[in-house]
Amino acid sequence: VQLQASGGGLVQAGGSLRLSCAASGFSLDYYAIGWFRQAPGKERERVSCISSNGSRTSYADSVKGRFTISRDDAKNTVYLQMNNLRPEDTANYYCAADPRGVIAGGCSSVYYGASYWGKGTLVTVSS
């Protein structure tokens, strides 16, 4: 049973990446999923989250309008499409799965309620 984040890499400012959060050994159908990131020397911060049925999403102000979270339950995967990347987006990105299925408190519900965390995928944005 694990959650795996992937899709990170090196990209120039203004470029795009799509991160994937895939589950193995369990179904994501009933889980709310959150993306979080942590830059060197900084605390982990929320990026975005999505409810179990996909009806609700939430974004940090710093990524609103540039990032889009989505889920494909048939593939047991949640995506984070990141466009117009900036150097300040450089961080390790983590996904987390909360079995309660709802999102609240700007994704803090997922942060504190997650049953599973994936290992990070590194995103580096060069200027």
pLDDT of residue 70: 98
Report the distance separating Cα 69 and Cα 37, nearest Å.
14
Which residues does 44 contact at the CB level (< 8 Å), separation at least 6?
Answer: 36, 37, 38, 94, 111
Specify the pLDDT at position 106: 87
Angle at 124 between CA 38 and CA 47, to 5 degrees: 40
pLDDT in the model for residue 5: 97
Q: What is the pLDDT along the chain (127 residues), one digit of tens a residue?
A: 899 999 999 999 999 999 999 999 999 999 999 999 999 999 999 999 999 999 999 999 999 999 999 999 999 999 999 999 999 999 999 999 999 999 999 899 999 999 999 999 999 999 9
Amino acid 1: pLDDT: 87
What is the Rg, in whole angstroms, of the alpha carbon atoms belonging to the chain?
13
Q: Is 23 exposed, middle or buried (0-12, 13-18, 19+ CB in 10 A)?
A: buried
